[in-house]
Homo-oligomer: A and B are copies of this chain.
Amino acid sequence: MGMVMLRTIRAQQACSERWRRRGLRLGFVPTMGALHAGHLSLVAAALRNVDRLVVSVFVNPIQFGPREDFHRYPRTLARDRALLSRAGVDVLFSPAPAAMYPPGFATRVTVEGPLVAGLCAPWRPGHFAGVTTVVARFFQVVRPHAAWFGQKDAQQVAIIRRMTQDLGTGVRILVGPIVRESDGLALSSRNRFLDRAGRMAAPALWRGLQAGRAAIRRGERSPAGVRAAMRRVLAPVSPVRVQYLDIVDAETLQPLYRLRGRVLLAIAAFVGRTRLIDNLPVRVPR
């Protein structure tokens, strides 16, 4: 049986309900399309673990700020569809914005407190509220047993875990590792915005993260010291403009005064006009 594309809430709900009644385990991979090998690795992981897999392609307007790239975000549905079909996905769910947010839509699902105090949150006001709202909505419609997210959006994963646990949606949240180009650049749908110079420069993010990890392995335990090591790699690279370099507890995402346990090195930078993020979990040696 081939892949089906569903475009309405009602059709997806009916489909999920039918499968659930039959006792099948449903998996879900939410995406904004413009699929790359990172997405496909989540799809492959999910397919190994569930009976039926739904992948959504939906460029979620409410998670973009007014000055962000909603309108130019790449839309490649025909290609995405072919990739997902070939991968063995059961349903491609691609609702119209007006189906997800009909006129009068006024609800927000938000996570407050420490998880949204740092990293991307202060730079993208409203972004995570948009993410948690759309994910909560998708979970209600798709009703998966488990959902897969990419480690590249580490803060998103932590926030969605929190939301899922708090609301008791009963969806298991699973995380797939970052997939990289051979030169270390983390795969991102936004990489296609890079011009030649930007594409050459962008792997500096990954080298910066590696430099931070090397500093920790050499015994550096102060976040400032690790940050300095990262900055030494990034500063000379043009056209890279760092937005933040952070070292936080890998689970709570809280700042650390002295590094211990599992930490997350995280970075956001503009490469030309394109904002990229990357991160690296590191176990601090005792």
List B contacts of A104 (CB < 8 A): 162
Beta-carbon contact of A115 and B109 below 8 Å:
no
State the A residues within 8 Å of B (CB).
9, 13, 104-115, 132, 136-137, 140-141, 162-163, 166-170
CA of A181 to CA of B169, assembled, Å:
40
Which single residue of chain B is at the shortest CB-CB distance from A23?
B21
Contact A167/B109 with A104-B162, A162-B104 known, Cβ cut-off 8 Å: yes
Contact A140/B110 with A104-B162, A162-B104 known, Cβ cut-off 8 Å: no
List B contacts of A107 (CB < 8 A): 109-112, 132, 162-163, 166-167
* A140 CB contact (under 8 Å) in B111, B113, B170: B170
CA of A113 to CA of B101, assembled, Å:
14
CA of A162 to CA of B102, assembled, Å:
11
* A109 CB contact (under 8 Å) in B13, B108, B170: B108
* A108 CB contact (under 8 Å) in B105, B110, B170: B110
CA of A140 to CA of B166, assembled, Å:
10
Top 6 A-B pairs ranked by shortest CB distance? A107-B166, A106-B113, A140-B168, A107-B163, A106-B111, A106-B112
List B contacts of A166 (CB < 8 A): 105-107, 137
Beta-carbon contact of B13 and A170 below 8 Å:
yes
